[in-house]
């Protein structure tokens, strides 16, 4: 019996979230916390600030959220929601965003997290550029 050809498990290039769009340095997180605007939700807290150039995303999840598996799943869900929002939002291209995951995020259904995070990101973009919104 021949082994069947399995599809490539990696996402297509068009759907990938490149590392250049991620905030990795502590100084960038701190700058966004200090000079950005805070938008509270029930599941996440979004900090956003306008930025020259390409927008980036940082995600934080403390140990209170859960073990490493739970925290990483929450981060992946937030990155995917942001990636889809970033692709369709015209103001997202120059917005630096940090999303703080709360303990409720781990238990929330994906649809609820997507609705809340998309709304908070839209609000953050409108607050960053009121003349464009």
CATH number at residue 61: 3.30.230.10
pLDDT value at position 17?
79
Asked if residue 57 is part of any domain, the answer here is yes
Q: Buried b vs exposed e over 12-25: b needs ≥16 C-beta within 10 Å?
A: eeeeebeeeeebee
Tokens of 79: 């990155």
pLDDT value at position 3?
56
pLDDT value at position 91?
62
Residues in the chain predicted with pLDDT less than 70, given as ranges, are: 1-14, 90-93, 130-133
Asked if residue 15 is part of any domain, the answer here is no
Whole domain around residue 76: which residue ranges? 44-125
pLDDT value at position 6?
53
Count up the domains in the chain and report the number. 1
Asked if residue 120 is part of any domain, the answer here is yes
pLDDT value at position 78?
95
Average pLDDT taken over every residue of the chain: 87
Asked if residue 60 is part of any domain, the answer here is yes
Asked if residue 36 is part of any domain, the answer here is no
Q: Which helix (H) or strand (E) segment is 80 a member of? A: helix 68-88
Asked if residue 39 is part of any domain, the answer here is no
Asked if residue 97 is part of any domain, the answer here is yes
């Amino acid at each position: 019996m021949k082994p069947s050809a399995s599809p490539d498990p990696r996402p297509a290039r068009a759907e990938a979230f490149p590392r250049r769009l991620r905030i990795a340095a502590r100084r960038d997180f701190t700058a966004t916390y200090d000079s950005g605007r805070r938008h509270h939700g029930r599941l996440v807290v979004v900090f956003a600030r306008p930025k020259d150039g390409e927008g980036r995303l940082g995600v934080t999840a403390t140990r209170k959220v859960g073990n490493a598996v739970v925290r990483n799943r929450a981060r992946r869900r937030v990155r995917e929601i942001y990636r889809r929002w970033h692709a369709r939002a015209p103001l997202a291209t120059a917005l630096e965003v940090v999303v703080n995951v709360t303990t409720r995020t781990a238990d929330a259904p994906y649809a609820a997290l997507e609705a809340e995070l998309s709304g908070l990101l839209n609000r953050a973009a409108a607050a960053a550029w009121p003349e464009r919104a």
